[in-house]
């Protein structure tokens, strides 16, 4: 069971933060903050998720994102803490949007800073994979044919499982 | 009292987003709470709450059906997540 | 020999571009361009390299980057073309700065757009690994103790070699 | 005529960034060109140009010492790269 055990509590520094918000984000501004946190930063890997126009052959007019206030932020913090335990990181930033979004809109930012790129890349992908399978967000597509809840993808679980995490 | 929350498709199927309940007996598990909710509210809710892929969280941590509940807990039921 | 054989020629679309420039870049603006190229974009993985304050125990006052005009752009285009052949990508953008840079400055941006995140992450890391070992740039550190050319790192060659590329 | 370019540490060690040469004979390889440059310019350049880690490019493609040169080629010598 992917969800069956609790994560150990890991101390997070102020250099790691999570926001769940309706408004858009500015990637440059977020990366600048990460750069300014430490003169040791040599690498920032980051990922931006974008609302696609077509999903499973249906035109998406609008996407609506629901979340579980409190648990969502907590689960993402836990995932970042796990990443910070596994790799030597200098900072991390996750922003996930909620509410109504349109095709082409940014949905999520995961940015990780480190001394060297290998750790930043791995941690960024790890956080994104676990966010996809563990953070309580739900997408509803509002199409010309009506509303429908998006189904979870098996490939997202495969992506998370390849990290072989012991929980 | 415990608080029970429902999200996304489950919230819509039940037509309710939140319940406040008095725990009927100790020890109480998540599994028994689901049956209790069905018993006191609506037999049609059984298929929705008992479905295999329903995720259960207690105090914002994911748990399994055997997790023991206590006074003041926040219990949530939701479908597989689809963020990112 | 890592450098011994030529790359096959691969057609690149206008959605892939390279700039070698002295001026800084704005990551948000670059990502917006990638998002606007195609309504299919669901994922943008990107990497920003940053000038570190300390490198091998020496304080870096300034970094000076030299390149080989023409070959530098060509080699990066070739690497992007290889990535586009290996993964299903929608667009790519590489910007590498030259001239004098200070600690905390952005040096390089590698951004890749795709339908799904797995391909975007892999292609971004691939491009960055090959850029590190194949694109003709040379760093000189201007420290309080004088100038010195930065030595190539063995770990960069290991990083590139793990892609098992047949050239 | 061929153009020969030197970059970074090699450029500084030689004190020159570019040469224009008439190819002395055909067939000419990169390896023989290096010796020719040493012969006509400075014997001290031998250690610098013959070092194992010198990268050779012809017309902006990396090649090995046995690569054959032709009229009009642009040949470059440079140390291992350190960008990114």
On whether the CB atoms of residues B12 and B83 are closer than 8 A, the answer is no
Residue D67 domain-assigned (yes or no): yes
Task: Please say if the pLDDT value at position C27 is more than 90.
Answer: yes
Task: Look at B83 and A75 and tell me if their CB atoms are within 8 Å.
Answer: no
Task: Look at B84 and A152 and tell me if their CB atoms are within 8 Å.
Answer: no
Model ipTM value: 0.91
Closest CA to C140 of C130, C150, C131: C150
Q: Cα(A150)–Cα(A62) distance, rounded to whole angstroms?
A: 12
Residue B84 domain-assigned (yes or no): no
Q: Cα(A43)–Cα(A108) distance, rounded to whole angstroms?
A: 20
| Mean pLDDT across chain A | 89
Residue A101 domain-assigned (yes or no): yes
Residue C152 domain-assigned (yes or no): no
Residue D83 domain-assigned (yes or no): no
Two structure tokens written together for C123: 């292609």
Query: What is the domain range of residue D68?
Result: 2-78
On whether the CB atoms of residues C3 and C135 are closer than 8 A, the answer is no
Residue C39 domain-assigned (yes or no): yes
pLDDT at A55: 59
Range from A46-55, B19-28, C156-165 carrying the lowest mean pLDDT: C156-165
Long-range contact set of residues D22-31: C-beta below 8 Å, sequence gap at least 24: D23/D69, D23/D70, D23/D71, D27/D68, D28/D68, D28/D69, D29/D65, D29/D66, D29/D67, D29/D68, D29/D69, D30/D56, D30/D58, D30/D63, D30/D64, D30/D65, D30/D66, D30/D67, D30/D69, D30/D75, D31/D65, D31/D66
Task: Look at D84 and C140 and tell me if their CB atoms are within 8 Å.
Answer: no
Residue A149 domain-assigned (yes or no): no
pLDDT at A56: 58
Residue D84 domain-assigned (yes or no): no
Residues 7-26 of A with CB under 8 A from C: 26
Residue C161 domain-assigned (yes or no): no
HSE-up (13 A, CA, CB side) for residue C3: 25
Number of domains in chain C: 1
Residue A159 domain-assigned (yes or no): no
D3-31, pLDDT tens digit by residue? 999 999 999 999 999 999 998 877 899 99
% of chain B with per-residue pLDDT over 70: 100
Task: Look at A41 and C52 and tell me if their CB atoms are within 8 Å.
Answer: yes
Residue A88 domain-assigned (yes or no): yes
On whether the CB atoms of residues A96 and A76 are closer than 8 A, the answer is yes
On whether the CB atoms of residues B76 and A71 are closer than 8 A, the answer is yes
**CATH number (domain holding residue A89):** 3.90.1170.40
pLDDT at C167: 41
Range from B25-39, C28-42, C52-66 carrying the lowest mean pLDDT: C52-66
Per-residue pLDDT averaged across B57-75, rounded? 97
Strand-pair partners of B21: B2
D16-71, pLDDT tens digit by residue? 999 999 988 778 999 999 999 999 999 999 999 999 999 999 999 999 999 999 99
Number of domains in chain B: 1
Query: What is the domain range of residue A113?
Result: 16-141
User: CA-nearest residue of chain A to C33?
Assistant: A104
On whether the CB atoms of residues C82 and C10 are closer than 8 A, the answer is yes
**CATH number (domain holding residue B16):** 3.10.20.30
Residue B83 domain-assigned (yes or no): no
Task: Please say if the pLDDT value at position C57 is more than 80.
Answer: no
Closest partner residue to A50 among C29, C41, C155, by Cβ? C41
Residue D52 domain-assigned (yes or no): yes
Per-residue pLDDT averaged across A100-125, rounded? 97
pLDDT at A1: 31
Task: Please say if the pLDDT value at position A73 is more than 50.
Answer: yes
Residue C149 domain-assigned (yes or no): no
Residue D42 domain-assigned (yes or no): yes
Residue B36 domain-assigned (yes or no): yes
Q: For A38-157, where are the E strands, in sequence order?
A: 43-50, 54-55, 58-59, 62-67, 89-97, 99-101, 106-114, 137-143, 146-149
């Amino acid at each position: 069971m992917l969800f069956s055990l609790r994560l150990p509590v890991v101390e997070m520094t102020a250099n790691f933060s999570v926001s769940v918000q309706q408004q858009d984000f500015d990637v440059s501004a977020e990366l600048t903050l990460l750069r300014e946190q430490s003169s040791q930063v040599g690498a920032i890997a980051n990922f931006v998720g974008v609302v696609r126009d077509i999903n499973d052959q249906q035109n998406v007019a609008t996407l609506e994102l629901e979340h579980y206030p409190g648990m969502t932020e907590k689960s993402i913090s836990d995932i970042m803490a796990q990443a910070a335990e596994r790799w030597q990181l200098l900072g991390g930033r996750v922003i996930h949007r909620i509410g109504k979004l349109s095709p082409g809109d940014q949905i999520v930012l995961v940015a990780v800073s480190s001394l060297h790129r290998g750790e930043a890349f791995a941690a960024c992908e790890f956080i994104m994979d676990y966010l996809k399978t563990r953070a309580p967000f739900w997408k509803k597509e509002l199409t010309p044919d009506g509303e429908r809840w998006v189904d979870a993808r098996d490939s997202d679980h495969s992506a998370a499982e390849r990290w072989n995490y012991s929980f | 009292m415990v608080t029970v929350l429902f999200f996304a498709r489950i919230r819509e199927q039940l037509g309710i987003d939140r319940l406040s309940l008095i725990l009927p007996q100790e020890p109480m598990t998540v599994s028994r709470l689901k049956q209790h909710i069905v018993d006191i509210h609506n037999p049609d809710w059984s298929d929705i709450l008992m479905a295999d892929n329903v995720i259960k969280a207690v105090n914002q941590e994911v748990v399994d059906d055997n997790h023991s509940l206590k006074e003041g807990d926040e219990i949530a039921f939701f479908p597989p997540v689809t963020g990112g």
